[in-house]
Amino acid sequence: MASQEEFRFKAEVRVRYADTDAQGHVYFANYLVYFDVAMTDYFKAIGYPYERLLSKGYDFFTVEACCRYRGRAFFDETLYVGAKITKIGRSSFRYDLAIFKDSATEPIADGHVVNVMIDRETERPVKVPEDFREAVRSFEGSIEES
């Protein structure tokens, strides 16, 4: 299980009323929405905004998403979503993510997402660009690469 200290980057998310379900806590699918917010902001944090990727003719498809639920969140709470890229393969990269309340050390949810880099025109997998790899390395230090 991840701890807050493991993440150099965390996005702040406030739970909206529309995010909750009949039981009053965050609807399970919205945790993946919170992951998406953090992944988008992570690109900016590493100095490689999504628009830069698009301008170079790249995009990505999500091919795997996993979330383990360990606690609950409620309307108007502030959550912190830790995100980091932990592995870059030839055409794929993996985020590890975790959602925390305030300064809690244990997450209320954690998981991972795997994306595959594609050519925007052909929508076929392509090698992860070297400048993207370097941006992740520079931000995270060491990552698993293959």
- Reading phi first (left if > 0) and then psi (alpha if -120 to 50, else beta), residue 123 is in left
Helix spans in the chain (H) = 30-45, 50-55, 130-140
Q: Considering its fold, how many domains does the chain have in total?
A: 1
What is the residue range of 108's domain?
4-145
Amino acid type, 116: V
pLDDT in tens, the chain (146 residues): 788 989 999 999 999 999 999 999 999 999 999 999 999 999 999 999 999 999 999 999 999 999 999 999 999 999 999 999 999 999 999 999 999 998 888 999 999 999 999 999 999 999 999 999 999 999 999 899 98
Q: What is the pTM of this model?
A: 0.95
- 82 within 8 A of 100, measured Cβ to Cβ: yes
> What is the domain-level CATH number for residue 107?
3.10.129.10
